[in-house]
Amino acid sequence: MIDMTGRTVLVAGSSRGIGAGTARAASAAGAKVVVHGRSVSPALEGLATELDAEWIACDGIDAEAVTRAVEGLVARGVVPDALVCTLGTVAETPPLIPNDDLWLEMFRSNVLGPVHFIQAVVPHMLARGGGAIATVSSIRGRDHLSSPETMAYGAAKAALENVTTAYAKELAPAVRVNSVAPGFAKTDMSMTWSDGVRAEVGTVALGRAAEPEEIARSLVFLVSDAASYITGQSLLVDGGYDVRGRL
What amino acid positions are annotated as catalytic residues?
153
Roughly what angle, to the nearest 10 degrees, separates helices 63-75 and 113-127?
A: 30
Distance from C-alpha of 161 to C-alpha of 157, rounded to nearest angstrom? 6
Which uninterrupted H or E stretch holds 83? strand 82-85
Burial 172-199 (b: 16+ CB within 10 A, else e): eeebbbbbbbbbbbbbeebeeeeeeeee
Rg (CA), the chain: 17
Distance from C-alpha of 206 to C-alpha of 68, rounded to nearest angstrom? 43
According to DSSP, the residues that pair with 179 across neighbouring strands are 135, 234
